[in-house]
Amino acid sequence: MHDRQADWAALLRAANGGDARAYAQFLQLVAPVIRTVVRGRGAGLGAEECEDILQDVLLALHLKRHTWREEEPVAPWVYAIARHKVVDAFRKRGRRIFVPIEDFAEVLPAAPEADPTERADMERMIAHLEPRAADVVRAIGLEGESIADTGRRMEMTEGAVRVVLHRALKRLALLRERYVE
């Protein structure tokens, strides 16, 4: 049975002395442990985010390996860097929570469909208007035509179209109140 602390310390000491093989072996040994730490501390983070954090930790170890004091144990130093990188990830993420939609695709409601009787109800109400007002309401309210296009088509100014539309909507509101009561 190997002493992880002693193995890591010997490898990092050799790596800091210039031994590239020792450094590669050190990273291979600490990566799975760091991954476990990140997943444990990063509850709620996705697998991709945990792997990103792992890469951040490995990069930080690389950049800061000269700060490790050889007389101190390596594991607490590695764990501290991992903890700080997880905290940094949560700060960077903010309050957003990411949930893959694939997990819920089967239970999400379908897009709302238009009520098939709605158009008939609107047409029944519009039929109470004078013909020109009914045409303006249909064009703008139901067909989505612009005021300018409606005015050109009906040979009216935009101001006149607005007045007719306003009066027609006012009349429809009064009719609605009568039918609702």
In a domain, 45, yes or no: yes
How far is 12 from 15, CA to CA, in rounded Å?
A: 5
The residues near 90 (Cβ < 8 Å, ≥ 6 apart) are 42
44 residue type, one letter: G
Work out the number of other CB atoms within 10 angstroms of the CB of residue 126. Answer: 20
Work out the number of other CB atoms within 10 angstroms of the CB of residue 107. Answer: 6
In a domain, 17, yes or no: yes
- Residue 90's pLDDT is 80
- Residue 97's pLDDT is 63
In a domain, 139, yes or no: yes
CATH of the domain at 161: 1.10.10.10
What is the token pair recorded at 2?
Answer: 């190997």
Contact (CB, 8 A) for 50 and 25: no
Which DSSP state fits 108?
S
CATH of the domain at 72: 1.10.1740.10
Domain boundary among 100, 133, 157: 100
Q: What is the DSSP string of 32-76?
A: HHHHHHHHHHTTT--HHHHHHHHHHHHHHHHHHGGGS-TTS-HHH
How far is 181 from 177, CA to CA, in rounded Å?
A: 6
3-state secondary structure 116-178: CCHHHHHHHHHCCCCHHHHHHHHHHHHCCCCHHHHHHHHCCCHHHHHHHHHHHHHHHHHHHHH
Please give the tally of structural domains in the chain. Answer: 2
Q: Specify burial of residue 29 (Cβ count, 10 A radius: 0-12, 13-18, 19+).
A: middle
Q: What is the mean pLDDT of each run of 10 residues along the chain (181 residues)?
A: 79 90 92 88 78 90 89 89 87 69 68 74 88 94 91 94 94 81 54
How far is 38 from 86, CA to CA, in rounded Å?
A: 7
Structural domain including 27 reads 4-100
Check whether residue 127 and residue 79 sit in a common domain. no
